[in-house]
Structure 1
Amino acid sequence: MEMIKLKFRTNNCYLRCGLAEFLGTLILILFGCGSVAQMELSGFAKAQFLSVNMAFGFAVTAGAYVCAGISGAHLNPAVSLSMFLLQKINWQMMLVYFLAQFLGSFVGAGLVFVLYFDAFYKYSDGNWTVNGSQATAGIFASYPSDHLSVYNGLTDQVIATAALMICILAILDVDNNAAPQGLQPFVIGLIVLLVGLSMGFNCGYPINPARDLAPRLFTALAGWGLEVFRAGDHWWWVPVVGPMIGGMIGTFLYEMLIGIHHPTQKRETHEEDEGLHEPPDYVLVESAA
């Protein structure tokens, strides 16, 4: 085993972080979308909307614990973009994170499909559909409720992701009231659960471009076809663009209203005590249903 470790171990930070983000995001999608599959394919007999919310919250926690020590566990392009704006990572690393998160989400969706293939087949008689009583595309990606317009959906995603980003930054801010480092994934998972419980009615709170776009692309290739991009008045771009805008707005609001107002003495104290309170190089998380 030691020989294998030495042979395959890499010191390239881009590769290390990319591999970590890939696996962490895969775990997020496997557990998260797996919970939706269990609910839908059982006709709500084995799970309910509350259990899906809980599963996604704990899926974020699990994915974050998998990779936080290597990559900081962004698990979400909106988070990586915010960390770039805060100068926590450079633009090359941001692109590595984007790619790794997308690939992890794609593979995670594929594993859910393989895991529940027989159940998918029995539920829909082998007809993979996007709309109708036996539609299954919504297991993998978000689609708007009947009442929701594209523009209200965009607003939904901006607000939800901004709120998420504000909470993430607060949880990680050692000058504020940061959660203990080992508990950060758990606390952020609770925030994702809170977002689902309060903002999941409109479209299932995707709040994560990779979590939504990569599984949607998987369904397009796996038999659901291009209707996954046409459905909901071409809804697909909303959970991609909305979270990116929301993440930037949340970052700006936190920095302007909280971050820049910490007392100078408090900052100096943390700098002197860096060994005990060193902030993480990156940041944790997320996504959602």
Structure 2
Amino acid sequence: MSNRRAFLGELIAEAIAILIVISFGCSVAAMIVLYDPNPYKNAYWGVCITWGIAVTISIYVTGAISGTHANPAVTLSLALYRGFPWWKVVPYWAAQLVGAFLGAAIVYALYWNVIDHFTATQHLTRAGGGGAGIFFTSPGLAVTPFKAFLDEIILTAFLMFGIFAVTDEYNTMAPQANFGALIIGLLVAIIGASAGNLEAWAINPARDLGPRTFAWLFGWGPSAFPGLPSYWWGPILGPLIGGVIGGGLQHLLIRPFLPRNKPVAGPN
């Protein structure tokens, strides 16, 4: 296989990976937002595990091709600490954004009529934010945009710390074979279960920016950019910073002390 064809395969895999995540994740958000009573009112863990298992499925589908970053923060951290080629970073980011946008388009194809029914019966408009929570995140109760930005740094740091730990080739306690994909999915789920109501735990710039861009083009306008409140920047910068911090902490505080005589797995 030529290098060019192999790299094209990596980009396609990255787009498909996050398309899977967004298709299932934003669909479960639609189940919450558009229905009253929503089916997860007393079962929030179902929302979290849906997002988490979507991540797991995406890894099983594409991991052998691209390593399944599916997140610009992961790509940046791997370039900084794990030798991922810097020249691939921007193309991976672009593929991830395209995949997230297309995932949002799939969700819209499934739910557009329900969205219209919801906004009509609730006397809302798309531009005013009706149904916006399906596609992109925003600060929750008593959370300011800046506080949400800080939260995204902290939560993504936990995510990246965990990903680096699970995929570290010298970590003898890491899941063996292909079980790591499930653990990473559960990590996403547990972050959502413990802190999702703060600002919907984007922890991934593409997860928010791709669907937000789609929503902006399909009628949500100012509720998407700059957002209500003006928060579009938070789920982009916060996860990028948090990923660097979390990956760096694992790289500096844990990795140097792992046994080096018996590698057990290959890193993503």
Structure 2 gaps of 5+ residues are none
1:22 aligns with 2:18: no
1:197 aligns with 2:193: yes
Q: Is the alpha carbon distance of 1:63 and 1:20 closer, same or farther for their aligned partners in structure 2, counting shifts above 3 Å?
A: same
Aligned equivalents of 1:119 and 1:211: distance in 2?
22
Structure 1, 181-190 or 75-84: larger mean CA deviation: 181-190
Question: Aligned residue for 2:154?
Answer: 159
Structure 1, 121-130 or 95-104: larger mean CA deviation: 121-130
Q: Is the alpha carbon distance of 1:114 and 1:251 closer, same or farther for their aligned partners in structure 2, counting shifts above 3 Å?
A: same
Structure 1 gaps of 5+ residues are 1-5, 271-276, 283-289
Question: Aligned residue for 2:56?
Answer: 61
Question: Aligned residue for 1:76?
Answer: 71
Structure 1, 9-18 or 67-76: larger mean CA deviation: 9-18
Aligned equivalents of 1:154 and 1:105: distance in 2?
21
Q: In structure 1, what residue type is equivalent to 2:17? A: G
What CA deviation, in whole Å up to 9, does each residue of 1:242-276 have, x standing for no partner?
Answer: 000000000111111101122xxx31333xxxxxx
1:34 aligns with 2:27: yes
Q: In structure 2, what residue type is equivalent to 1:199? A: A
1:142 aligns with 2:137: yes
Aligned equivalents of 1:231 and 1:99: distance in 2?
22
What CA deviation, in whole Å up to 9, does each residue of 1:71-104 have, x standing for no partner?
Answer: 1111100000000002431122111210111000
Q: Is the alpha carbon distance of 1:242 and 1:77 closer, same or farther for their aligned partners in structure 2, counting shifts above 3 Å?
A: same
Question: Aligned residue for 1:210?
Answer: 206
User: Would you say how many aligned residue pairs link Structure 1 and Structure 2?
Assistant: 263
1:279 aligns with 2:266: yes
Q: In structure 2, what residue type is equivalent to 1:17? A: E
Structure 1, 10-19 or 116-125: larger mean CA deviation: 10-19
2:153 is paired with a residue whose SS is helix
Q: CA deviation at 1:138?
A: 1.0
Question: Aligned residue for 2:216?
Answer: 220
Question: Aligned residue for 1:129?
Answer: 126
Alpha-carbon RMSD across the aligned residues, in angstroms, is: 2.0
Structure 1, 152-161 or 46-55: larger mean CA deviation: 46-55
**In percent, how many aligned pairs have the same letter?**
36
